[in-house]
């Protein structure tokens, strides 16, 4: 055996010894940590995700201002003395603007069940001005808000509509408003 082979053999023995020693020390260190470490807890603060934005104060506008409703798209508005002229469906009706033009209004199912939106009523309403397009009309058809082709064609002439969430008859203007769902 040459000196070179003895060195390799001796080095191999030392390597095995060091490897076993490293594993034993690592296992011992982990065991020591498990025994002496103090349990920690992480405080998780849960916040409720808001599905709806915070309420925004409604901008009071006149019935005549609905004639330029495109200026109010996406805004919450309040209108007093809004007449119900033609009921298209339980949740949809036309109101008459001072310019003799009709304007489309939709109320929530809860308001419709309370009798809001019947012909000849005069209402004080709060709602959001929204764009009316084919997708909205299709959604109304699927939801049963409008049920016939004639109703769909009737509302299709509008470019915007007022989506009412709070309404009361104008004769009860001193009473608190009736929000949808209450």
d(CA 146, CA 127): 19
Which DSSP helix (H) or strand (E) runs through 101?
A: none
Residues 6+ apart with CB under 8 A from 154: 88
Residues 91 and 117: beta-carbon distance below 8 Å: yes
Going by pLDDT thresholds of 50, 70 and 90, the confidence category of residue 173 is: very low
d(CA 163, CA 165): 7
Residue 87 has pLDDT above 60, yes or no: yes
Predicted pLDDT of residue 47: 61
Q: What is the mean pLDDT of the chain?
A: 82
Predicted pLDDT of residue 104: 93
Going by pLDDT thresholds of 50, 70 and 90, the confidence category of residue 138 is: very high
The percentage of residues in the chain with a pLDDT greater than 90, rounded to a whole number, is: 52
**Total number of residues shown for the chain:** 182
d(CA 22, CA 13): 14
Predicted pLDDT of residue 145: 92
Residues 105 and 92: beta-carbon distance below 8 Å: yes
Mean pLDDT of 137-147: 93
For 105-121, the pLDDT digits (tens) are 999 999 999 999 888 89
pLDDT: is 47 or 100 the higher one? Answer: 100
d(CA 115, CA 109): 10
User: Could you state, in order of their start, the residue ranges of all structural domains in the chain?
Assistant: 59-179
pLDDT: is 79 or 1 the higher one? Answer: 79
For 25-82, the pLDDT digits (tens) are 999 999 888 888 777 776 666 666 555 555 567 888 988 888 887 788 999 999 999 9
d(CA 100, CA 81): 15
CATH superfamily of 59-179: Nucleic acid-binding proteins (2.40.50.140)
CB burial of residue 8 (10 Å; 0-12, 13-18, 19+):
exposed
Mean pLDDT of 139-148: 92
Residue 10 has pLDDT above 60, yes or no: no
Predicted pLDDT of residue 95: 92
């Amino acid at each position: 055996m040459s000196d070179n082979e003895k060195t390799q053999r001796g080095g191999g023995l030392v390597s095995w010894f060091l490897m076993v020693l490293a594993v034993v020390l690592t296992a011992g260190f982990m065991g020591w940590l498990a025994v002496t470490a103090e349990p920690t807890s992480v405080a998780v603060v849960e916040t409720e995700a808001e599905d709806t934005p915070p309420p925004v104060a409604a901008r009071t506008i006149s019935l005549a201002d609905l004639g330029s409703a495109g200026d109010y798209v996406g805004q919450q508005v309040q209108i007093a003395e809004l007449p119900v002229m033609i009921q298209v469906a339980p949740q949809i009706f036309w109101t008459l603007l001072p310019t003799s033009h009709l304007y489309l209004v939709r109320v929530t199912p809860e308001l419709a069940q309370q009798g809001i939106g019947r012909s000849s009523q005069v209402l004080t309403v709060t709602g959001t001005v929204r764009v009316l397009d084919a997708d909205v009309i299709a959604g109304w058809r699927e939801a049963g808000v409008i049920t016939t082709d004639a109703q769909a064609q009737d509302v299709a002439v509008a470019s915007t509509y007022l989506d009412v969430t709070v309404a009361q008859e104008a004769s009860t203007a001193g009473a608190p408003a009736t929000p949808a769902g209450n």
